[in-house]
Structure formats: structure tokens, C-alpha cells
Amino acid sequence: MGTAAGRLTAAARAEHRHQTALLAALQGGAQAWPTGWCGPAAALSSHRQHARATAARTLTVAYPVLAGQLAPADVAAAAWDLWQRHPPRQGDLGTWGGHWAGWLRSPAGRARCPTVAGWAADLARLEWGVHQANRAEDAPEGWPAGLALLHTTDPVRLVLQPRPGLAVLSLSTAALALWQTQTQGDVPAAEVQPPPPAGRGRTAVVVCRRGLAVGVRPLPADQARFTRHLLRGESLGQALAQAAPHDFQAWLQTALTDGWWTAVDCLSAVDLSTHEEP
């Protein structure tokens, strides 16, 4: 006889197979219940319609500006295709939908929404960044812990801990302008026009939440490159060596004022070793 933990694991695996079979039936358009499930045939169709509606509603919540620029049928089609290709992995549906930008660039997305290919994927990336920042855990306010280390420690031994949800994105200026107009202006949503397909300029922005507000600030290209290096986990010294901004003090003042970093940490000696084989 197995242990209680073993029986629980076996039960969990069985339930996972049970749920996976239902999900496959819903996604594949099956007309009959899969093995292990039973009920009226009409109920399976009802489940499928509910899943479709849930997918469209979830996508609209995460991407309100982009969803407002597309026909409801196109949003519903995109949502269902994403639901099938990348089904939810957990009960919190706020974590689902991050693949929409990639879908819009895919053959399926370009075929479904050909008129928005020039800006929609960038708008999706921005809205997902804002959505993630809104959902990020709270961080302490005030100056980053360990800030004094900037004056006393070799930069190569320092790493900056980002505020949860902090992101740097490169966007088309058309997509950014559309998002700003609809979220920060007084123009009714119905009157906001999509950007012209000819708009090819690009700009970098930083997305950061402080308190209840998510800010989207344009960044000079040199500051964006430098910040990306830090977000990849490089030490301050490494980032300075590879992509130092033209004016480090200006970058630092902006970063501190806007609260991009929560702590400055000092790497231990082992972190700096080459980890050569003995």
C-alpha cells in the first residue's frame, strides 16, 4: 500500500488527466464527452461557449485599448485561438493572455487582423507591461535600501533590485501615441482613431508602478539600453562598461525619483569568481 503522499500524487495526476481530456474536447470542437466525463451533449457546447466568452473577456480586461480598436469578432477570434494554443495554467486568469503580441505577428494574426500589423503588436506589449505592473506585488517606498553602497563599493560588485513589474520596452511611436491619447486624454474612446500604418518611428519607455498608479515614461535610447542591462541582472559595473548612459547622474536622478529600484546589493566574492573547474 502506498503512502498518503503517494496516493495524493496519484490522485492529482489522475485529476490532471481528467481535466486535460475535457480541455482537449472543448478546444477541438468534439461533439461527445471525452472518456471519464458524461452529461447531456448540449452541456459540452455550453462549456465551450463559456470558455470562448471567458477568453474574450479576459483579453479585453488586460488589453482595453487594443480591444477597443478591433472589431469584437476579431478580439473573440484572437482570444479563442490563444486559449487553444496557450491554455491557462492556473486559476488566476489575470496571468493569461501575454502571448497576444506574438500572435499578432504570427501568420494567424496577420491573416485575421491585416490592417493593424504596423502597430497592434507594440500596443499589446505596452498594455501587457502595464497589466503586469498593475498586478505586481507592492514594494517599499522611499530610497532603495543600501543606496550608500554607491559611494563606498566598486560598481562591479553592486546589483540593483528592480521594483516588481518594472519593464523597459521599445515601441512604435504610433502605438505609444494611441495608448497615451486613450488613457491620458479626454477624448472619448469611440473618437480615438488608430495610428496611420506609415508611422515607423520608435521610442523606448519604462513602465513602473508606484502606489496605485502605473507610469509610462519615455526614455532616451542610451538610458533604455543601460537599464535593460541592469534588468538582466548584470552588475552596475558590467552595465556601465557595456552601455553607460551619456549622463549617468541624470539617469540616476530619474531612477531614484521614479522609484525604479528597491535595493542596492553587494555581491559576495563567490559571485564574482570565474567558477573555474578544479
Predicted confidence (pLDDT) per residue in 39-71, tens digit = 555 555 676 788 889 999 999 999 999 999 999
Whether this prediction's pTM lies above 0.85 is answered by no
The pLDDT, as a whole number, for residue 145 is: 95
Lowest mean pLDDT among 1-5, 58-62, 104-108, 128-132: 1-5
CA atoms in the 13 A half-sphere facing the CB of 218: 11
The pLDDT, as a whole number, for residue 42 is: 52
The pLDDT, as a whole number, for residue 192 is: 46
Mean pLDDT of 146-167: 96
Residue 224's SS3 state is helix
The pLDDT, as a whole number, for residue 230 is: 97
The pLDDT, as a whole number, for residue 198 is: 45
The pLDDT, as a whole number, for residue 272 is: 47
Lowest mean pLDDT among 48-52, 53-57, 114-118, 218-222: 114-118
Cα 91 to Cα 17: distance, rounded to the nearest angstrom:
17
Cα 132 to Cα 100: distance, rounded to the nearest angstrom:
14
* CA nearest neighbour of 128 among 187, 191, 174, 171: 171
Residues 15, 43 contacting (CB under 8 angstroms): no
**Which segments of the chain does DSSP mark as H helices, in order?**
4-28, 41-62, 64-69, 72-85, 100-105, 107-112, 120-135, 149-152, 173-184, 221-231, 236-243, 248-258, 269-272
Cα 118 to Cα 104: distance, rounded to the nearest angstrom:
10
Mean pLDDT of 179-205: 66
Cα 68 to Cα 29: distance, rounded to the nearest angstrom:
28
